[in-house]
């Protein structure tokens, strides 16, 4: 007698599992765990079995089935670096950069992050929830089923805590891992007094953020809470970044770090030394620090949509990182200034073309490795027994079409925790 299941997806031309026992590196990044004529069994929101369709359909039955003939099933994407909660836009700066203005010059003149800070401070929680929810819904439709979201557009205690509350409200509907980024930029009231602002982050913001976390939905879910710093020339130097990260670690937060976006300050070495779960951007990381990254457990998260949008080079040397043995992940860096990008498939396409990743490496970087960059690798990021049933059905005969085709969405069906997502409400207002 076949065993009953909640949902069976069957006869996929390819089931791409991305299965692995940890973050992938080296040759393992080329293994996507492909099952031809594959099927997946879902029970209680989790994956109960994966295998060939004839074997699965002989062992399981379900009133709800999806025939994926001539289609691909892969894990939902994990976006390990976003700034999705903000208000306003920076389209005027987009024009300025086309005319030759540099990103850091715009920031120094009071634009950039500080422009978004002003709009975000003025916005209500309700407005921020509404605007961010629309962004996350768009990303979900494009296949992202797990999100990291950073604060960092408040730059004062009140607004940074407001952003944390907004992130928690969003987590009732979306799978989110929170990151505190109070040290994202130096607010105008602390211009010329960076150390004093660092003191504020350490002495006031961080303890209050930790207190928020202890009472939050995320603590109940057993999810990590991370601290991040923008370690960059003109923002926070290496020692200031160390102070903030060490303070966060002392309070029990995990560490992440923005490093080497415009200038190498030794941030990768700092991240590795402190045992950071990830170090992100890495456009200017020198070879000896790439080797240090490869010898560590820290995951390098590269963000090619930033380079594409800013029209900047070089892109992070992701090919060199992989060849050195580093664990590499990809993310959008969704934000209003340097990466107004919602699409992980676009990020994969850019990584293949400009950073010389092969399609298998790009997909593993957007799924399993990205999940480990959020401390979520045991829950999401691959199609394996016991993990959450976060799946995509692609209207394509081969997973490589995700990177090969550009400009439209190949994601036909999104399944989150075993539930087929209905996007009619977002498109038409239907319930």
Mean pLDDT per 10-residue interval, the chain, length 431 residues: 94 98 97 98 98 97 96 98 96 87 82 93 98 98 98 98 98 98 97 97 98 97 97 97 98 98 97 98 98 98 97 96 98 97 98 98 98 98 98 98 96 98 63 32
Q: Where are the domains of the chain?
A: 3-75+381-427, 78-372
Task: Say which CATH topology domain 3-75+381-427 has.
Answer: Urease, subunit C; domain 1 (2.30.40)
The pair of structure tokens assigned to 89 is 């836009």
Contact 370, 381 (CB under 8 A): yes
Whole-prediction pTM: 0.96
Gap between the Cα atoms of 431 and 364, Å rounded? 34
Query: CA–CA separation, 289 vs 257, rounded Å?
Result: 14
**pLDDT on residue 157:** 98
Nearest in space to 415 (alpha carbons), one of 35, 25, 60, 42: 42
Determine contact, residues 38/66, Cβ cutoff 8 Å. no
| Matching CATH number, 78-372, of 3.90.1310.10, 3.20.20.140, 3.30.300.30, 3.40.50.300 | 3.20.20.140
pLDDT at 100: 87
- Asked whether the beta carbons of 185 and 107 are under 8 A apart, the reply is yes
SS3 352: helix
Determine the pLDDT at residue 426.
52
- Residues 412, 395: contact at Cβ < 8 Å? yes
Alpha-carbon span 209 to 261, nearest angstrom: 26
């Amino acid at each position: 007698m076949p065993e009953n299941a909640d949902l069976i997806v069957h006869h996929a031309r390819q089931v791409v599992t991305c299965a692995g026992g940890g973050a992938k590196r080296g040759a393992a990044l080329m293994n996507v765990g492909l099952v031809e004529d594959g099927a997946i069994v879902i029970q209680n929101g989790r994956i109960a079995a994966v295998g060939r369709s004839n074997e699965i359909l002989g062992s399981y039955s379900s009133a709800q089935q999806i025939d994926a003939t001539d289609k691909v099933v892969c894990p939902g994407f994990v976006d390990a670096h976003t700034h999705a909660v903000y208000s306003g836009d920076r389209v005027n700066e987009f024009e300025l950069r086309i005319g030759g203005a540099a990103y850091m010059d715009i920031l120094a003149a009071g634009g950039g992050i500080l422009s978004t800070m002003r709009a975000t401070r003025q916005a209500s929680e309700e407005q921020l929830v509404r605007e961010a929810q629309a962004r996350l819904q768009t990303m979900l439709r494009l296949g992202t089923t797990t999100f990291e979201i950073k604060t960092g557009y408040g730059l004062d205690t009140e607004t940074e805590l407001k952003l944390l509350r907004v992130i928690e409200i969003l987590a009732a509907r979306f799978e989110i891992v929170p990151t505190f980024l109070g040290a994202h930029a130096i607010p105008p009231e602390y211009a010329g007094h960076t150390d004093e602002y660092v003191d504020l982050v350490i002495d006031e913001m961080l303890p209050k953020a930790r207190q928020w976390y202890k009472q939050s939905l995320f603590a109940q879910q057993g999810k990590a809470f991370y601290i991040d710093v923008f370690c960059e020339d003109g923002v926070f130097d290496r020692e200031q970044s160390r102070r903030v990260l060490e303070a966060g670690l002392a309070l029990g937060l995990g560490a992440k770090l923005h490093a080497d976006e415009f200038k190498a300050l030794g941030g990768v070495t700092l991240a590795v030394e402190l045992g950071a779960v990830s170090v992100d951007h890495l456009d200017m990381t020198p070879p000896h620090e790439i080797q240090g990254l490869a010898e560590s457990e820290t995951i390098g998260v590269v963000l090619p949509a930033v380079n594409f949008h800013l029209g900047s080079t070089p892109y992070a040397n992701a090919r060199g990182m992989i060849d050195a043995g580093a664990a590499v992940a990809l993310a959008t860096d969704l934000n209003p200034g340097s990466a107004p990008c919602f699409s992980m498939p676009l990020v994969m396409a850019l990584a293949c073309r400009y950073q010389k990743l092969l399609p298998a490496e790009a997909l593993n970087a957007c799924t399993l490795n990205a999940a480990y960059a959020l401390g979520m690798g045991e829950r999401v990021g691959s199609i394996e027994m016991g993990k959450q049933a976060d799946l995509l059905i692609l209207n394509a005969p081969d997973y490589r079409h995700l990177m090969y085709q550009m400009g439209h969405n190949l994601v036909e069906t999104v399944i989150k925790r075993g539930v087929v997502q209905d996007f009619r409400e977002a498109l038409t207002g239907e319930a």
